[in-house]
Amino acid sequence: MKNRSLCEETPTYTLLLYRKDNWLRGLEIILFLLGFLFILLPNFTFRSIPFVIGLLVLAGVVMAISPLLYLLILRPRYILLENHLTIRKRKWEKVIPLKREQMIDLHYLQSGNERIPLLVSDQFLAKVKIQLEKLRYG
């Protein structure tokens, strides 16, 4: 059977605001700590009202900027084929063969002990579920 592309998707900025993988969470933590250490601590008195306001503003800025940096640095792309799902991030590529025992749990592809985050829209997830059902029931 020939593998043809059923669906391709690149995550959008708004989607990355609420769906995150470990790389994006790590980026947020690093950006927040850098801002805290190099912007807030040297310029504000610890536990003062301006410090707390600056902390909240920093958190908001980090949450707004990190998805943009993620999209610019990694350029993620998800490609659904008849028998497998391909995840591309910059030069890294992971091919996940679709199997009968796999399932979608929220926005994760559950395969055995491995949980693979899928940073895609609900429509794309529905298409992955349909492909898994086709493999499961023929």
The answer to whether residues 46 and 89 touch, using CB atoms and an 8 Å cutoff, is no
Rg of the Cα trace of the chain? 19
Domain layout of the chain by residue ranges: 5-9+78-137, 14-73
In whole angstroms, how far apart are CA 56 and each of 60, 61, 66, 122? 6, 9, 16, 31
Gap between the Cα atoms of 28 and 74, Å rounded = 15
The pTM (predicted TM-score) of the whole model is: 0.86
Reported as a single tens digit per residue, the pLDDT across 5-16 is 789 999 999 999
Task: For residue range 82-134, list pLDDT tens digits in order.
Answer: 889 999 999 999 998 888 777 777 888 887 788 889 999 999 999 998 888 88
**For the chain, what percent of residues have pLDDT higher than 90?**
69
